[in-house]
Amino acid sequence: MIKPVFFTNFFEQKKAIESLIRESRANTSFYLFLSIAAFISTLGFMVNNAVVISGGMLVAPLLIPILSLGMGIAMSSMGAIGRAMKTLAKSVVTVFLISFLTAFFLSGTGTAITEQMKFASDLNIITFLVAFASGIVAAYSVVKESTYSVLPSIAVTVSLLPPLSVVGIAASLFSKDLFASSFTLFLVNFLGIVVASTIVFALFGFSGLQSIQERRLAEEREEERRQREMKEIVRHGGVRR
């Protein structure tokens, strides 16, 4: 167990765990917001408008499940890691499909590779450092709830959604170079946040709180099971089988 370096207390740790689990739940609202964000971002790229792209980045809920993954790694919780990876995999597919379909159906308007698309696929060491620094601030703000309001700004700064949206656009344009560079940039930003958040959560002493996270995840699974049962009861006319 890593000795805590940053000061916190058990109440803040427990609240941070519960908050991340709650906010990263992949429900209908999560995918609705993610789909809308991908749609807005894709339109922004197609008209080469950075303001519209930023609007999509503010709506996208991608940052929270990535932080959840970092916490899961810091706590060596396979349940949390698996849950976060499953959500992120579905999120990547969702953004890709929305971006691809949007660009594909609007390709008749003369879609071409814009400057914003090039910018969202520009890979260099600076992008990793920005993602790493953003991951530190994001993880810190999750633990210290008084700074939680900075998360939307971090979501814009770290640029998770734009390169992923460009991946879908690149596929519709049959641009292998743009596809490869934008997806690589997304992976670099993703890894930067995960590595940084894992370090921060470990320094806050979360490594010894695995049992709390696993118990909360078990409660979530039980709650989902009960909701499914209720839906089945309603579907069969209110008769429990």
Among 144, 157, 145, 139, residue whose Cα is nearest residue 72: 139
Tell me 109's DSSP state.
G
DSSP structural state of residue 207: G
Helices 210-235 and 78-105 pack at an angle, to 10 degrees, of 60
Residue 151 in tokens:
């998360």
What is the 3 state secondary structure string of 128-181?
Answer: HHHHHHHHHHHHHHHHCHHHHHHHHHHHHHHCCHHHHHHHHHHHHHCCHHHHHH
**In whole angstroms, what separates CA 60 from the centre of its chain?**
8
Q: Where are the alpha helices (DSSP H) in the chain?
A: 10-23, 28-46, 50-59, 63-74, 78-105, 115-119, 125-143, 151-158, 161-173, 176-203, 210-235
How distant, in Å, are the alpha carbons of 48, 145, 211 from that of 116?
Answer: 6, 34, 45
- The structure tokens listed for 80 are 């949390």
Instruction: Give the pLDDT score at 153.
Output: 60
Per-residue pLDDT of the chain (241 residues), as tens digits, is 445 556 677 778 888 888 888 888 888 889 999 999 999 999 999 989 988 988 888 777 888 889 999 999 998 888 889 989 999 999 999 999 999 999 998 875 556 788 889 888 888 888 888 889 888 888 888 888 755 555 666 665 567 888 999 999 999 988 999 999 999 999 998 999 999 999 999 988 887 777 777 777 777 777 767 777 777 776 666 544 4
Among residues 165, 130, 149, 214, the alpha carbon closest in space to that of 60 is found at: 165
Q: Return the structure tokens found at 48.
A: 């080469």
Q: Decide if 21 contacts 220 (C-beta within 8 A).
A: yes
The answer to whether 235 and 104 are in contact (CB under 8 A) is: no
Retrieve residue 138's tokens: 């994001």
Q: What is the pTM of this model?
A: 0.81
Span 10-210 CATH architecture: Up-down Bundle (1.20)
